[in-house]
Chains A and B, each alone.
Chain A
């Protein structure tokens, strides 16, 4: 069963020069507990897609379905992570991770909240940093904490908008592995917006390529790699083939026909 579905989604933003269409015929079908990576040219409307699934935005046309219900407003079963970790500087790492629980489960006892947060912080390797302020942590560590916060309330859906985009290459690979481990331990369905084709193949069960703006679903690639992936798998012929296919699709999306 598909946990997330978008059907013929059209959306435009109002600008002084008239409406600017960003999405034109976007179809997604994401099965429960799977991980969907979305790639596409810059500015093609990927972030708009995250806001639509999160219910922060209602599409002009078409439908967004989440968990058997049409999305009309934000819901507590969603977690979000952005490129900017947006940690609250006045809170410790632990208090930052707990934040969603204060909204979603106001009655939950303090100890239970702390235990849950500490469990996640342990999973991403931040044990011992729970009482630090965000400003005392490196960029990669801040993003780890941000990931913990986005899933602390056990959301059904985790929506990530280029969460690793601002990190250096090696830190990014570390985070991919962290993400893979979190996936194994936590029951969420993932939507990952990214610019990084290797990231999309390493983390995704399917990779959706969007066309240039206004974006429609141009291509869907099913990632046929085993679930227990290591970074080495990216250097196998199968992965190479998939990356090549994606590269071609991106080129088509960018309307560039010249050979690479």
Chain B
């Protein structure tokens, strides 16, 4: 019963959503150059299946590499800001300002600086757009550590590093994973921004662009669905890691 609920409820909700979409297109009698219906998508997927595999892979690996780098960069910045008040004061306004810049405006900038480096540019954008939540959450997690937590080990003469490793780091993990879930989606936005905007791009974003140029709406919507699927897969991958490393933060069900 419980597993049926767990699997059944999301599936039913997806089916209802697709039916609603299909019905909307059918009732309004929208032609294919205006709006694609779910029933148009299988054909699009099948027709461009090799392109989907190739472009999907391009988008996926660049997003994942971007995320990994965002975790490293964001984590490092978060640690610096979380452990040092001076660095927090120095870096926070810079980071907030940087984060406030619409990243689409940076696409031509990095495209000019790193001409032709399509992979590099795409990964760079994914990092730039997704490291911020990680940096903020890690720094808040570290800086809000109650002094008693530190004192129980400090009173025993433990080093700063030991306290960090045994207490501060594990205590920050739930916040970190919360931020990572946000960053997954942001990283996809980053890669796709570059893929769509740069000429002769690769990846699902480029496929979307070519659909647009050719007026192939079913292809464009198929790309959106493919992106959604990749996003869901990566998101739940993070959820699995969260369960393994920070499962303790989940309150027991009563």
A-side contacts of B167, CB under 8 Å = 88
A136 in contact with B155 (CB, 8 Å): no
Is B50 on the interface with A (CB-CB < 8 A)? Answer: no
Is A54 on the interface with B (CB-CB < 8 A)? Answer: yes
Binds B, one of A77-85, A203-211, A224-232: A77-85
Is B10 on the interface with A (CB-CB < 8 A)? Answer: no
A86 in contact with B156 (CB, 8 Å): no
Chain B: residues with Cβ within 8 Å of the partner, total of 22
B155 in contact with A55 (CB, 8 Å): yes
B148's partner among A73, A76, A84, A104 (CB-CB below 8 A) is A84
A90 in contact with B146 (CB, 8 Å): no
Is B41 on the interface with A (CB-CB < 8 A)? Answer: no
A89's partner among B155, B158, B166, B248 (CB-CB below 8 A) is B248
B148 in contact with A82 (CB, 8 Å): yes
A-side contacts of B154, CB under 8 Å = 56, 74
Chain A: residues with Cβ within 8 Å of the partner, total of 30
Is B252 on the interface with A (CB-CB < 8 A)? Answer: yes
B157's partner among A74, A84, A99, A102 (CB-CB below 8 A) is A74
B170 in contact with A88 (CB, 8 Å): yes
Interface residues of A in 76-120 (CB under 8 A from B): 76, 78-80, 82, 84, 86, 88-91, 99-100, 102-104
Q: Name B's A-contacting residues (CB within 8 A).
A: 146, 148-149, 151-158, 162, 166-167, 170-171, 173, 246, 248-249, 251-252
Q: Name A's B-contacting residues (CB within 8 A).
A: 51, 54-56, 73-76, 78-80, 82, 84, 86, 88-91, 99-100, 102-104, 133, 135-136, 149-150, 153, 159
Sorted nearest first, the 9 A-B pairs with minimum C-beta distance are A90-B248, A86-B148, A74-B157, A54-B155, A103-B156, A80-B155, A103-B158, A82-B148, A90-B170
